């Protein structure tokens, strides 16, 4: 049986490192460089003038963390939300450590599941200032009734009640998940047709973190002139899976330096796959 106090007391520390190859492989895995003549995207996938995507810190901080120690049944676990806050520009090579703690564990009741949120903070070796903070929320469908609080979970960012100011179409490749998995997430649900069918899907689905990065790409392209240092925060809530090969339409609402967004797949009757998105940009960034 899960224990709320024990869950909230969890702390982790994991060593990490990355190289230029990891930065380029991640960018390719989320679809950058699909057009090798697009000189706006090339700096993310070739050595000359290499830049890290603002969502890249998810890769060196992916392994470990307190969520893995709770005991959530992986067969019934869903990725609910993802957020990253960038405190400084991300170097294309580095080493350091990741400190993890739990932010919350909410009990929805027996048969209704539970919600768990962890925070990971990435530090460079020898530097006491954080580089990035990554917050992940997971939904455990089988964990309801463990005795945790039933309220207090942060409310999602509201989507503006007006037509989007801009929309960006981002195509994914049929092999997108097979490439993205080499950034660290080898869950067979994203690669093995048999595993996908066992989970109730007709074929492997795209990693939620890949879809998440694609929404960040849309903001970079539409609002930041592809300059990653202009983004300081990016958060989203997952609402439906994406299948590799689909085109994702990202709708954007601009309000000063805040960009609200959602993502949908037009080919499946406009199903919304990402909701309640918010990017916070550096002052004066939006173009």
Nearest CA to 185 among 30, 40, 43, 73? Answer: 30
**Is residue 151 included in any domain, yes or no?**
no
User: Do 123 and 198 share a structural domain?
Assistant: no
Least confident segment among 23-37, 76-90, 140-154? 140-154
**Residue that finishes a domain, picked among 93, 122, 140:** 140
How confident is the model over 42-74, as pLDDT tens digits? 999 999 999 999 999 999 999 999 999 998 888
Encoded tokens for 277? 């998105």
Query: What is the percentage of the chain residues whose pLDDT exceeds 90?
Result: 90
Same domain, yes or no, for 115 and 181? no
185 is an active site residue? yes
Domain that holds residue 123: 4-140
Q: Examine the domain organization and report whether 259 and 176 are in the same domain.
A: yes
User: Is 190 a residue of the active site?
Assistant: yes
Per residue in 176-185, pLDDT (tens digit) is: 999 999 999 9
> What's the whole-model pTM score?
0.95
Residue 284: which pLDDT band, with cuts at 50, 70 and 90? confident
Structural domain contains residue 72 = yes
**Is 281 strand, coil or helix?**
strand
Statement: residue 287 has pLDDT above 70: no
Whether residues 130 and 180 share a domain: the answer is no
CA separation for the pair 250, 255 (Å, rounded):
16
Looking at residues 90-103, what average pLDDT do you find?
Answer: 98
DSSP, collapsed to helix, strand or coil, labels residue 95 as strand
Q: Based on the fold, state whether residues 130 and 175 are members of the same structural domain.
A: no
Domain boundary among 123, 140, 157: 140
CB 65 within 8 A of CB 35: no
pLDDT at position 246, please?
98
Residue 156 located in a structural domain = no
Of the residues 22, 107, 190, 234, only one is catalytic, namely 190
Q: What is the pLDDT of residue 285?
A: 75
Q: What is the pLDDT of residues 262-273, one digit of tens each?
A: 999 999 999 999
Residue 180 covered by a domain: yes
Residue of 210, 179, 226 whose CA lies nearest to 58:
210
What is the spatial distance between Cα 186 and Cα 206, in angstroms, rounded to a whole number? 12
Residue 159 domain-assigned (yes or no): no
pLDDT at 1 over 80: no
| Contact of 257 with 282, CB cutoff 8 Å | yes
Task: Name the catalytic one among 22, 185, 226, 234.
Answer: 185
Domain assignment present for 262: yes
User: Which pLDDT score is estimated for 75?
Assistant: 80
> Would residue 146 count as lying in a domain?
no
Task: Please compute the mean of the pLDDT values over residues 215-219 and round it to a whole number.
Answer: 98
Q: How far apart are CA 258 and CA 281, in angstroms?
A: 6
**14: DSSP letter:** E
Residue 150 lies in a domain: no
Tally of domains in the chain: 2
CATH code, 174: 3.10.129.10
Please give the average per-residue pLDDT across 249-271, as a whole number: 97
């Amino acid at each position: 049986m899960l224990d709320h106090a024990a869950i909230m007391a969890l702390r982790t520390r994991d060593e990490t490192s990355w190289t230029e190859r990891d930065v380029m492989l991640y960018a390719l895995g989320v679809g950058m460089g699909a057009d090798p003549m697009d000189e706006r995207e090339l700096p993310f996938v070739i050595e000359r003038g290499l830049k890290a995507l603002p969502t890249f810190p998810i890769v060196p901080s992916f392994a470990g963390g307190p969520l893995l120690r709770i005991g959530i049944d992986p067969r019934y676990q869903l990725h609910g939300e993802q957020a990253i806050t960038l405190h400084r520009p991300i170097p294309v090579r580095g080493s350091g450590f990741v400190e993890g703690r739990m932010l919350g564990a909410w009990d929805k009741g027996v048969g209704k599941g539970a919600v768990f949120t962890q925070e990971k903070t990435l530090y460079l070796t020898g530097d006491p200032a954080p580089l990035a903070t990554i917050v992940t929320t997971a939904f455990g469908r089988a964990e309801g009734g463990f005795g945790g609080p039933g309220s207090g979970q942060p409310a999602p960012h509201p989507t503006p009640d007006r037509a989007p100011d801009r929309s960006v179409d981002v195509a994914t490749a049929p092999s997108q998940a097979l490439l993205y998995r080499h950034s660290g997430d080898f869950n067979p649900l994203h690669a093995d047709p048999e595993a996908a069918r066992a989970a109730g899907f007709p074929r492997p689905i795209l990693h939620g973190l890949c879809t998440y990065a694609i929404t960040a790409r849309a903001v970079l392209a539409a609002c930041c002139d592809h300059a990653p240092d202009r983004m300081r925060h990016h958060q989203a809530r997952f609402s439906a899976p994406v299948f590799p090969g689909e085109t994702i339409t990202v709708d954007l609402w601009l309000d000063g330096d805040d960009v609200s967004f959602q993502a949908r797949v037009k080919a499946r009757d406009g199903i919304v796959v990402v909701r309640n998105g918010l990017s916070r940009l550096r002052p004066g960034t939006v173009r």
